[in-house]
């Protein structure tokens, strides 16, 4: 008899699970996004990010993860969360990422005169393939150079749960600005003098 009365209460309590804390959302999002699991990552994004970039576009972008070197880089990448600060419906989480240092890998490859000569002797498509081969070998090596960076991840509370603010719109705007700065023709079209 007591069990029959307690069962509805237990069911009600189990249905009232508290949503994950901001650092847990960041961990889950990083894991899903780095594995190309868009269906898992999508609901963790802020409403503004979901409105700016469609799920279909994210699925299209996730195809980049099929590249063997990208997969190798992500397999070596580690995410850690740190300090959490919550102010009302906004939160920040410190995320430390340790990943292969591509710049150091390229510098190491370019420091070998044999590699430089080989690249110069190849047509562009074969030179690119050779560079990808060198990258793959470096990623597979036990002494692959690694780099650690720290980033502050912003979250917003929407519908009672924390969501990652990826700021796709701001990222795209920054990419366009960098492209204009690096391309003389685009700079001219934008009416900007060199170096500005």
Q: Which residues are CB-contacts of 151 (< 8 A; sequence separation ≥ 6)?
A: 94, 95, 97
| Helix (H) and strand (E) counts in the chain | 11, 4
**Closest alpha carbon to 87 in 142, 30, 157:** 157
99 in helix, strand or coil?
strand
Report CA 136 to chain centroid distance, whole Å.
Answer: 20
Each domain of the chain, given as residue ranges in start order, spans 19-98+146-165, 102-144, 168-196
- How far apart (Å, rounded) are the C-alpha atoms in residues 36 and 31? 9
Residues 154 and 91: beta-carbon distance below 8 Å: yes
Judging by beta carbons within 10 Å of its beta carbon (0-12, 13-18, 19+), is residue 153 exposed, middle or buried?
buried
Structure tokens at 125: 């498509």
User: pLDDT per residue over 115-157, tens digit each?
Assistant: 889 888 989 899 889 989 999 999 999 999 999 999 999 999 9
Structure tokens at 61: 């972008």
* Secondary structure E strands in the chain: 78-87, 90-100, 146-158, 161-164
pLDDT tens for the chain, residues 1 to 196: 455 565 555 445 455 568 899 999 999 999 999 999 999 999 999 999 999 999 999 999 999 889 999 999 999 999 999 999 999 999 999 999 999 999 999 999 899 999 889 888 989 899 889 989 999 999 999 999 999 999 999 999 999 999 999 999 998 898 888 877 777 666 566 666 555 5
* CATH pick for 19-98+146-165 out of 1.20.810.10, 3.40.50.10110, 3.40.50.300, 3.10.450.50: 3.10.450.50
């Amino acid at each position: 008899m007591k069990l029959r009365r307690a069962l509805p209460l237990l069911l009600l309590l189990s249905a009232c699970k508290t949503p994950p804390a901001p650092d847990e959302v960041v961990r889950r999002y990083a894991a899903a996004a780095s594995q190309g699991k868009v269906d898992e990552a999508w609901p963790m994004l802020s409403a503004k990010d979901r409105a700016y970039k469609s799920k279909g576009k994210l699925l299209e972008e996730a195809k980049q993860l099929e590249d063997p070197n990208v997969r190798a880089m992500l397999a070596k990448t580690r995410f850690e969360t740190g300090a959490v600060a919550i102010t009302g419906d906004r939160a920040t989480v410190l995320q430390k990422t340790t990943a292969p240092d591509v710049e150091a890998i390229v510098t190491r490859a370019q420091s070998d005169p044999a590699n430089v000569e080989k690249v110069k002797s190849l047509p562009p498509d074969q030179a690119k393939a050779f560079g990808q081969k060198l990258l793959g070998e470096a990623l597979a090596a036990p002494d692959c150079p690694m780099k650690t960076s720290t980033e502050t991840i912003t979250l917003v509370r929407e519908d009672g749960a924390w969501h990652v603010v990826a700021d796709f719109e701001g990222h795209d705007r920054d990419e366009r600005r960098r492209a204009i700065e690096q391309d003389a023709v685009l700079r001219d079209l934008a009416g900007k003098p060199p170096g500005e």
